[in-house]
Amino acid sequence: MTVTASEAPAAAHFRFFDCEVLRTRRLGHSFLRVTFGGESLAGFRSGGFDQSLSLFLPPPGREHTVLPSTDEDTWFGAWRAMPEAERPVMRSYTVRAQRRTPAGADEIDIDFVLHGTGTSAAGAADSPAARWAGQAVPGRRILAIGPAVAQNKSVRFQPPPGTDAIWMYADETALPAAAAILERLPAGTAVRAWFEVPHEDDRLAPATRADADITWIVREGAGRERTGRVLDALRSTATATAAPAAPYAWLAGEAGTVRAVRRHLVQERSVDRRAVRFTGYWRLGASEEELLAEAYAGRAASEDPASEL
């Protein structure tokens, strides 16, 4: 879930969860899966698909996250009012999976991209979330605000009735969400997907019963020309079969590329703009803190808060 200044989460839909790192697993060059547990997760209700949550990272030099209030109505103001050096860093992530173990324990998985940590080609100035994940060890705790009901507005994937095909674009930050969506789609759903990842071994093929035609775009060090490469891939893999009558497009990843892909679909492929759900998951050169500050200052007009990242 992404929180903006004007829109703290509705009390009934979201609440705080105290999560404990149970284990980590490297999935590919850029991905680390962190599995969290903890008694409070008994009340966690992921809606699946691209369900997101917000993590609160301890400030530098601190082991634990402390918030002055975790009350649904007052936490946001209290968090904003904290001195910057003390304020836990808030970051948005996807609930890759939620399950109950045979022993009755609740677990969630989050797949972190380890950008800017020396394991990814992309450099980054600070990247506290990627750094935190890279150092995660069992027993470490973190606060999250996440869904307490499965039907919540942080599930953005909402194809309207009558949709006859799903089109997807995701970069590595949105691949966990795309994979979770694909896992839940009914057998035979027509899917055309373009997935952009930094390295060859980041091509984590999703399990799906959908009829999914996936094109992988491997960046291997491409910098700001990345958007052009994605558009080239889209144009050169135009569907050979007749275009669907009512496609629904779900796009997520770096904000500039997401906007360019949306423009391509609407202008070059005549996709109804109302059938395109696009979300900027991050923006080149800006931390999530800076994006939130922009939103807070009212500089980013928004359809969906995260769309404007």
Ligand X SMILES: Cc1cc2nc3c(=O)[nH]c(=O)nc-3n(C[C@H](O)[C@H](O)[C@H](O)COP(=O)(O)OP(=O)(O)OC[C@H]3O[C@@H](n4cnc5c(N)ncnc54)[C@H](O)[C@@H]3O)c2cc1C
Options 15, 115, 219, 277; binder of ligand X; rule CB under 6 A: 115
CB-based contact 294:301 (threshold 8 Å): no
Is residue 46 near ligand X by the rule CB under 6 A? no
Q: How many residues bind ligand X (CB under 6 A)?
A: 30
List b or e across 32-50, with b for residues whose CB sees 16 or more CB atoms inside 10 angstroms. Answer: bbbbbbbebbeebbbbbbb
- Among 176, 234, 258, 276, the residue binding ligand X under the rule CB under 6 A is 176
User: Between residues 165 and 306, which has the closer beta carbon with respect to ligand X?
Assistant: 306
What amino acid is encoded at 99 in this protein?
Answer: R
> Contacts with ligand X in 205-224 (CB under 6 A)?
none
In the block, residue with structure tokens 């007052």: 74
Contact with ligand X (CB under 6 A): which of 8, 19, 97, 130? 130
Coil vs helix vs strand at 299? coil
* Nearest residue (CB) to ligand X, 41 versus 89: 89
The stretches of 41-190 forming alpha helices (DSSP H) are 75-80, 128-134, 175-184
Q: Which of 128, 147, 159, 247 binds ligand X (CB under 6 A)?
A: 128
**Angle in degrees, CA 266, 280, 1, rounded to 5:** 125
The interface region with ligand X, picked from 65-73, 161-169, 217-225, 282-290 by CB under 6 A, is: 282-290
Candidate segments 80-88, 127-135, 140-148, 182-190, binder of ligand X by CB under 6 A: 127-135
* CB closer to ligand X, 246 vs 293: 293
What is the nearest approach in angstroms of ligand X to the Cβ of residue 98?
A: 13
Of 75, 76, 112, 167, which lies in the binding site for ligand X, with binding defined by CB under 6 A?
Answer: 112
- Phi then psi for residue 43, to 5 deg, are -95, 5
Stretch that binds ligand X, among 137-145, 180-188, 260-268, 276-284 (CB under 6 A): 276-284
Judge contact between 4 and 295, C-beta under 8 A. yes
Biggest CA pair distance of the chain: 57
Of the pair 48, 244, the CB lying nearest ligand X is at 48
Question: How many Å apart are CA 18 and CA 9, to the nearest integer?
Answer: 17
> Using an 8 Å Cβ cutoff, are 186 and 210 in contact?
yes
Rounded CA separation 160/221 (Å): 37
Answer for the pair 111, 33: CB distance below 8 angstroms, yes or no.
Answer: yes
Among positions 46, 51, 98, 127, the unique one binding ligand X when judged by CB under 6 A:
127
Q: What are phi and psi of 307, to 5 degrees?
A: -65, -25
Burial bucket for residue 92 (CB in 10 Å: 0-12, 13-18, 19+): buried
Q: Which of 60, 77, 223, 285 binds ligand X (CB under 6 A)?
A: 285
Q: Does 125 bind ligand X (CB under 6 A)?
A: yes
Is residue 287 part of the contact set for ligand X (CB under 6 A)? Answer: yes
Residue 253 is a binding residue for ligand X (CB under 6 A): no
Q: Toward ligand X, which CB reaches closer, 246 or 286?
A: 286
Interface with ligand X (CB under 6 A), residue from 27, 129, 185, 265: 129
Window 288-307: contact mask with ligand X (x via CB under 6 A): x-----------------x-
Interacting residue ranges for ligand X, rule: CB under 6 A: 2, 52, 91-94, 111-113, 115-116, 122, 124-130, 173, 176, 281-288, 306
